[in-house]
């Protein structure tokens, strides 16, 4: 089975993406396990698709093999000018996941529960060294909690509450969590596209 490389310097995102892809039968590993670190160009657009494709193209060209890249973000209905595709830029890449979550919780402290709707959005892009690119997108809707809860996963999962399950994503083990997440759904969509393209998953 072919092992794909994940074009990212974000260890947490790479591990989660690898788990999501593995759940649907595609083996992937962070490129850093095999190659020296790359300096990816800074994200300069407000498009998930453009950002994911740019990272994937850069990785494929520099590494000389097909790679998978991710761009994702948290969108909060009550704070339309906050976060979204520029989540990392708005909160600062130097700020850790727990502190980023706390900034969001603090910004929403005065909002009633009914106005705490949020969407997590993910775009995955596969790029080949010849310039070919394939993308897949997915979302998950939920609410922002008032406290960080859960230890099965990290990042925004600790504050993203699913009403149907009465839990945050981070309170669900991977076998339940991955099919519900934005990145898990995008991984499923991406693999379905690859399977429809003869030879792409080999």
Active site residues: 71
Please tell me what DSSP assigns to residue 93. T
Contact 161, 150 (CB under 8 A): no
DSSP, residue by residue, 157-201: GGTEEETTTTEEGGGS-HHHHGGGSHHHHHHHHHHHHHHHSTTTT
Please tell me what DSSP assigns to residue 44. -
Secondary structure of the chain: what % helix, strand, coil (to 5)? 40, 25, 35
């Amino acid at each position: 089975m072919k092992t794909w490389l994940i074009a990212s310097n974000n260890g947490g995102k790479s591990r989660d993406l690898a788990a999501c892809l593995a759940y649907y039968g595609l083996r992937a590993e962070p490129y850093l396990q095999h190659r020296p670190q790359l300096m990816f160009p800074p994200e300069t657009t407000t498009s998930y698709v453009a950002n994911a494709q740019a990272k994937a193209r850069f990785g494929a060209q520099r590494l000389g093999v097909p790679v998978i890249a991710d761009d994702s973000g948290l969108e909060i209905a009550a704070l339309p000018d906050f976060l979204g595709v520029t989540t990392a830029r708005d909160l600062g890449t130097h700020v850790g996941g727990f502190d980023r979550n706390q900034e969001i919780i603090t910004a929403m402290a005065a909002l009633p529960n009914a106005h705490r709707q949020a969407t997590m959005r993910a775009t995955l892009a596969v790029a080949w060294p010849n310039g070919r690119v394939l993308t897949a997108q997915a979302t998950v809707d939920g609410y922002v909690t008032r406290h960080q809860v859960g230890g099965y996963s990290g990042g925004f999962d600790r504050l993203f509450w699913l009403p149907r399950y009465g839990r945050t994503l981070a309170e669900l083990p991977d076998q339940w969590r991955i099919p519900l997440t934005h990145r898990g759904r995008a991984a499923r969509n991406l693999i379905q596209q690859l399977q429809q393209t003869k030879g792409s998953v080999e």
